[in-house]
Amino acid sequence: MVKEASREPFGAQALVYGLLLSKEGDERKAQLDWLQAHADGAVLREVDRLAPLIARIERGRRLPLAEMAMPALRALSHRQYQAFRRMVQSLVAVDRKVNLFEYALHRMLVRHLDGVFTGKQSRQGIHHTLESVKNEAILLLSALAWSGNAEGKAAQEAFTQGLAQLKLQKGHTIWDKEKCSLRTLDRGLERLARAAPALKKRLLMACAACVSHDQRVSPDEFELIRAVADSLNLPVPPLSPEEV
């Protein structure tokens, strides 16, 4: 039933809104109040119908489900899309922080939809060497390493695994966790998105090596690597996240 909803514009909007609903009572109420005040009536009714079904979906399946909605969202009018994007931003802003699912979903919307409705074409690759994006690559591997590891030693091991895949010279150290904010990562991904195709593939292989170094992929790691793949316009590596 949820998959069927993703195939038409009203259902696709409701699906994305439902995926963004918080499990926390106060935040969820604030989100629902906002939807009640601003969402189209047909979409709101679809959110009510889908919400209980979405609540039972494992975290690792949520981003792939959102991706299924992208073709239907392309059928929105320009006005409808702008209203949809504002609604997404409002639902995310309720708790004044952005989690990894919200971040990955935003990157997905940017890649799949923004160019369609704004008419802006992605710029051609201008970075052909790893040296030209080395700092961004180190930031990316650091963020991924910290996303799945709370302990510094484990994060360093994950980072080192990704570094080895890139064949970077030794001596590079993982960035402090505090420096790997989503805002900083966003700027880095914007630059990496302008890398040449072969370099993008190399970077994504390093990301996959980083998150799978311990033979397990956490939901946080999975969501972040999906955001990276979307930003680089590459297929998501065949990784299976742990169910939560």
At residue 124, the pLDDT reads: 62
Angle made by CA atoms 208, 212, 214, in degrees to the nearest 5: 160
Q: Mean per-residue pLDDT for 153-175?
A: 89
Which pLDDT tens digit goes with each residue over 132-143?
999 999 999 999
> pLDDT, tens digit, for every residue of 190-209?
999 999 999 999 999 999 99
pLDDT tens, 29-71?
999 999 999 888 888 899 999 999 998 988 888 998 999 999 9
Tell me what pLDDT residue 115 has: 79
163 and 141 in contact (C-beta within 8 Å)? yes
> Residue 123 has what pLDDT?
60
**What value does the mean pLDDT take over residues 157-177?**
89
> What percentage of the chain reaches a pLDDT higher than 90?
55
Q: What is the pLDDT of residue 175?
A: 95
pLDDT exceeds 90 at position 158:
yes
Write down the domain spans for the chain.
2-118, 130-232
40 Cβ contact list (under 8 Å, min separation 6): 10, 13, 83
Confidence band for 244, pLDDT divided at 50, 70 and 90: very low
pTM: 0.84
